[in-house]
Structure 1
Amino acid sequence: MGNAITPASTMSLVILDLFWSSEINSALVNTRAWAVQERFLAPRVLHFGRRQLIWECREKDAAEMYPKGLPPNLSRLPDARFKSFDQTILMEQTGGFNFPKIPMKLGICCGSGLLRRNYMRCGLTFPNDKLIACSGMAKMMKQILNDEYVAGMWRKYLEAELLWAVLSSGTSSRPAEYRAPSWSWASVDGDIHPQRRWVRNPPIIVKDIHLDYKTDDVTGEISGGWLRVLGVLKRTKLTRKTWITRRRDVRYWHMSLEGIDVTDLGLEDSPDPKIHVSLDVDQEDFEQESSQDLLFSMCAKPPSENKTIMYLLLFKLVSREKATFRRIGIAHAFDETVKNHILSIERGVEEPQLPCIEYRDGLHSIYVI
């Protein structure tokens, strides 16, 4: 008998048709911010795509190739179910929230984070329309959440919503004309990622809010405002450095808190820093701010027992006498050694002398405009 023929090995493949992203989200009309609001508020929408007609409503997304509705592998994608507040869909799209333990309204709030993410990626002919162009969506969400709308965010979960980040500060900017306080994502033009995670026992507390509006509409244009925040304030320094390799030069921000280095780069393995600074608007250096002790930070989300990322809000001092600051960015600490290092920095005896309205029980009260 001849040699037996061995069957070739097999491999299972899953092929995803990402037509929804190309036909809907990348369609020219849906790259405009006003169109996002109209698409969201309309009970049902019929899209005339390049290849087929596509149906979208609050109960179902469908297309000519999927007339009974999108298959599960497509409906779970963040680009799909744009108009849905279904609990299961939200859980899948927000990274596995355990909704039986978390109120459904929080899930809807996270869904509004996905909505804002779609909105933030879109363009406006007149940048100052940023809050006006989503006011209709805000009014609808306000009724569902029964919550206070705060410059594009929600009061009940504001400590978590403050943790938005600019994905590429090199392409972001702040408008010449005032549009929103620095702590609101609406104050920045760029690719912004809203915070969707729930923060249990946040180390910062928003004690008070004040906003000035141009009209009687609290979802419309803003002329001024501030937050009063309670947290642990730390002197901060940011220094631009470059790690040179044979392949490329990697620029990064070196960070210190109270004069202690917290940037554990691990350069022997990778040029990627273990703490990442994301500025709201990029700048070349902070030499002047550092020399005048104008940079500060507050831990806004500590690492939890399941080893999540630590977040620090970055501020620039505006008035020492009035304890007033502006947000300039956010820092993310990934490495366990770095996070423990940050937590180990003890409060010094001079901390009450830091610029604050009040210092009590180891916490500083400051204004952020």
Structure 2
Amino acid sequence: MQITTTLSSAPVDDARLAEILANPGFGTNFTDHMLTVEWTPADGWHAARITPYGPITLDPAAAVLHYAQEVFEGMKAYRHDDGSVWTFRPEANAERMVRSSERLALPVLPVDDFVQAVDALVEVDQRWVPTNPDGGEKALYLRPYMFASETFLGVRPAEHVTFMVIASPAGAYFKGGVKPISLWLTEEYTRAGRGGMGSAKTGGNYASSLVAQREAYDNGCDQVVFLDGQDGKYVEELGGMNMYFVFDDGSIVTPEIGTILEGITRASVMEIAGKMGHPVTERKFGIDEWREGVASGRITEIFACGTAAVVTPVGTLRTKDGDSPAPASTELTMKIRQALVDVQFGRADDTFGWMHRVV
């Protein structure tokens, strides 16, 4: 793509930026610029540009506001100790957006163009990528997304689509150290069904999870876990994370894909665990197997993973019929987590070839 750049005339000053990067939180502060590319059937992808960050204008009849035709990605840029800036498996995010776009009847942005677009914004706003002199986990969160921007109320795939990338510095997901999260089992709501959008990264999946997530909060839990929509007995995923179950023989099971999101972190964990000598099997995994496995001691660890939290141990499972206790250990969970974080931040050799240098 040919990308034009218009720099902000009023970037955040250095003193304010230092304050933000010292305690960035998540998703509350945004960099000085954003990237936009547009698509129409006649012109394809065109008008790629980096401009100062700011509000966008949408017609009240923009298709995305009525029919939710949109997809997005979540990824991070990491500053290594030598000052260089890297992203983690960006081509995998690009490939997943291709699959999501096809499911939502959106135009496909080529993988190379996706990576180029993300790189371009990171390069322009590289001063926003935090440092971690104390060995922390601050990074620049990147949000590429695509939506139907056509002014049209008919129900059909949009013929004007906008792709954008914005960025926001993010602190470590766990303040005060990693600790097991408690889960609420929802037996009323499901996340996705056969033939649905479960494997696409689209906002509608997250919107449908919020009522169950509120139910989890109301029951004193951190996250909600969903069962399958057909039989109501197989574990799928959390509201925004994939799951793993570690057995006493060292083997690991993760729910099979199809109606769940094929996470980038999920795939990376599978490779790391395998290299450590812990084979990972993808299969249906019943909620009864969870309860019985923890009670008998066969399941020794449970963990979840995603871009924001990386890897987190799972503790108590709470249901309307009572609680299942936390598994006995978090040892392998934390080893896998540390191995992944060390690669991302350049503290270990990238033997997998996952890191992509931007600056």
Normalising TM by the smaller chain, what interval? under 0.3
TM-score normalised according to structure 2 size = 0.24
From the CA coordinates, give the structure whose radius of gyration is larger: 1
The normalised TM-score by structure 1 is: 0.24
